[in-house]
Amino acid sequence: MAVLKIYVYPAPILLKTAKRVSDFGPETQEFIEDLIETMYVEDGVGLAATQVGVAKQIFVACPTMKQGEEIIVINPEIDQMQGEETDVEGCLSLPNISAKVPRAKSIRLRYYDREGTKCEMTAKDFYARVIQHETDHLNGKLFVDRVDFGTRQELLAQYEQIQKEKGRRL
């Protein structure tokens, strides 16, 4: 197992649509283990393959925030969305900023598990929010793409400022 490097905005991989996975062999299994380990080491609630530089439709998440209760989601498709709820979100690829992001309150997700078995689940509230956030990553979208244009500009300006200050602290 290995802890993987997290790519932060504006790394081009974060804006790419990831490719569907059809190989569920040992290489994929090892990658999944690394993703899980990295998520816990970085204290994230979810981590998508694109965030570690791999353009594959895989994410791991632990919306209950209890280690060992993580879910592994491959080729996700959200095919039903209901209601709307706004809550604060952050992202390991956009460190030090957060914003209130509107999301569907409940969703239905179709996906494959790590063995390649077709699955579906429904989720609501925070659990649904995490799934939407991670699925967005695999489609090249970040949470700043889910807020209005003015807020997006403000957030990215704030982000760039923080990155610059960090650079100065070398």
Interaction site with Ni ion (CB under 5 A):
91
The least distance separating Ni ion from the CB of residue 165, rounded to whole angstroms, comes to 22
E strand map for 83-117: 85-89, 99-103, 106-112
Nearer CB in complex with Ni ion: 24/125: 125
Nearer CB in complex with Ni ion: 22/98: 98
Tokens of 138: 């695999």
- C-alpha distance from residue 29 to each of 2, 56, 72, 74, 154 (Å): 13, 13, 11, 12, 40
Q: Is 134 a catalytic residue?
A: yes
Residue showing the smallest CB distance to Ni ion in the complex:
91
* CA gap 123, 79 in Å, rounded: 12
The least distance separating Ni ion from the CB of residue 155, rounded to whole angstroms, comes to 14
The least distance separating Ni ion from the CB of residue 48, rounded to whole angstroms, comes to 7
**Positive or negative torsion for Cα 56, 78, 108, 151:** positive
The least distance separating Ni ion from the CB of residue 111, rounded to whole angstroms, comes to 18
Contact 37, 77 (CB under 8 A): no
Nearer CB in complex with Ni ion: 12/25: 12
Nearer CB in complex with Ni ion: 27/43: 43
E strand map for the chain: 46-48, 58-61, 71-82, 85-89, 99-103, 106-112, 118-124
Name the active-site residue from 70, 84, 134, 154. Answer: 134
Which residues participate in catalysis according to the annotation?
Answer: 134
